[in-house]
Structure 1
Amino acid sequence: MKKLFITAFLMLTSLGIMAQEQEEQAVRKFTLMPKFGVNIAEFVNNSGSIYVDGSPRWGFTAGLEAECYLANRWGLTLGLMYSQQGQKYNSSYGMYYGEPTVQMDYINLPVLAKWYMSRNKKWALKFGLQPGLNVKSCLKSDSFSKSLDDMGVDAEPFDMALALGFGFEHRNITLEITSFVGYIKPFSTSTEKFDDRNSVTQFTLGYRFDL
């Protein structure tokens, strides 16, 4: 009987150690996800409203996101995304006609915490910061294209935005909607500091690979 109890104890201990190791491996799991999607971008002022003569610019976004699981329901993601942002004007802009678009394109590096809302990890909430590097800044319409620098407008080389998003995953396919609101003014002139901020609503589709 004593040998039976000892054998049972050793078996239970071994199972406990194996379960703990499996749980630790799950927590330490790394994934990589290529993703692409659509931006609905605009400029907002301090009151949060878009300018009367402006409408959103629809743009493209694509890149890669890495994730490290920190705990059973928590992860940390780091992304590298190309993002077309800016705003379209519904009327002429100064001496330029034809509903021009301010094109502000960025290489963004979102660093987001991820909280899984369910045990099966299908639904997730993401929040954090997104630094960005401006790689294109111009005013463009069907009849012309001119850089902001040539117009006497200085584009801020860096951006920083707050991010909040939701995601749904099924069989490694992920759908996400994320909102980004910048708090750095994206451009200015020698005489005027515009009160604009970048604002982007982003819809993306991705496929997750386990590493």
Structure 2
Amino acid sequence: MQYLPIAAVSSYSSNYLQARMMNMKKRIMSLALLLASVMGINAQETESPVGKFSVIPHVGVGISNWSNNELSFSGSEVLKSKYQAGFNGGVDVEYRATKEVAVSLGVNYARLGFKFPSYQAENENPDKSTTLEGYDNIHVNLDYIQVPLKVRAYITRNLSLTLGVQAGFLCGDGKWKMDYTQVTIRNEEVTAKETETLTNTWPTKKLDVSIPIGVSYEYMGVILSAQYNLGLTNVSNAPKEVDKSCKNKGFGVSVGYRFTL
């Protein structure tokens, strides 16, 4: 029986392992190239082709407020409105006119509105008792159906800027709501307490016209967007003696998906 020298066995094992590793690397490279080609084909299929229509459903969240908006208590204390969060969603139909430009028309639902900070008042009564009044969770909800007409300018294949004009139609009336608490104190003891939720309508015009300004990034049909709405028209329907022009303003983010027709 003949035996191979130890050096020969070691050399054979080393060459065998190197061959296996080279073969494994080739397989990994082939799989990576195949995966990249498939992803590239999918990206080309989901990209908006020139001369084609596409449908883009989308959902998102945003914050909104009215400019120059105030609420007064007892004619002295003045509260300024703050931004309030809300939901938005809808669908756009887009036409890719050229490689650089697309135009779209959409229909959206948006919950807009604003809120006010809490307020507390203290009154001394003739019977030497004290009445404390608290106003909390003061907010106004405005539900709109919006019709935006926008132009999309492609900066790169994936990145685009949007600009347009938008008409918003108020659904029903503006709804104002707050929590009211009244506490009566005499000799440092609570003698009466009343809590209730107050609701009423908020004077709001039915039509709102604004300019939507946005930026979007698209990859494989998924579109991430951020948009600012600049109000153009006075939406307050307060009495003329108030003499204040209030406009909607807001910022939102959304995610959508492109279906090419």
Secondary structure in 2 aligned to 1:177?
strand
* 1:131-168 CA distance string (max 9 Å, x none): 110114111235232222xxxx3x21100001110000
1:138 maps to what in 2?
175
TM-score normalised over the length of structure 1: 0.76
Secondary structure in 2 aligned to 1:26?
coil
5+ long unaligned stretches in structure 1: 1-24
CA contact (8 A) 2:79 2:116 kept: no
Paired residues for 1:118-197 under 5 Å: 118=156, 120=157, 122-135=158-171, 136-142=173-179, 143-148=197-202, 153=203, 155-190=204-239, 191-197=241-247
5+ long unaligned stretches in structure 2: 1-47, 70-77, 122-132, 180-196
User: What's the CA shift for 1:92?
Assistant: 4.0
Count of paired positions: 176
CA contact (8 A) 1:93 1:100 kept: no
CA contact (8 A) 1:129 1:160 kept: yes
Q: Does 2:258 align with 1:208? A: yes
Amino acid in structure 1 at the alignment position of 2:170: N
User: What's the CA shift for 1:52?
Assistant: 6.2
1:90 to 1:172, Cα distance in 2 relative to 1, 3 A: same
* 1:18-70 CA distance string (max 9 Å, x none): xxxxxxx9321100011000011011239xxxx96322110000110110011
Paired residues for 1:77-156 under 5 Å: 77-92=104-119, 97-118=135-156, 120=157, 122-135=158-171, 136-142=173-179, 143-148=197-202, 153=203, 155-156=204-205
User: What's the CA shift for 1:98?
Assistant: 1.2
Identity of aligned residues (%): 24
1:32 to 1:183, Cα distance in 2 relative to 1, 3 A: same
CA contact (8 A) 1:187 1:193 kept: no
Give the number of the structure whose alpha-carbon radius of gyration is greater: 2
Amino acid in structure 2 at the alignment position of 1:36: V
User: What's the CA shift for 1:93?
Assistant: 10
User: What's the CA shift for 1:194?
Assistant: 2.7
1:93 to 1:36, Cα distance in 2 relative to 1, 3 A: farther
1:9 maps to what in 2?
none
How much is the aligned-residue C-alpha RMSD, in angstroms? 2.4
User: What's the CA shift for 1:130?
Assistant: 0.7
Partner Cα separation in structure 2 for residue 108 and residue 127 of structure 1:
15
CA contact (8 A) 1:53 1:91 kept: no
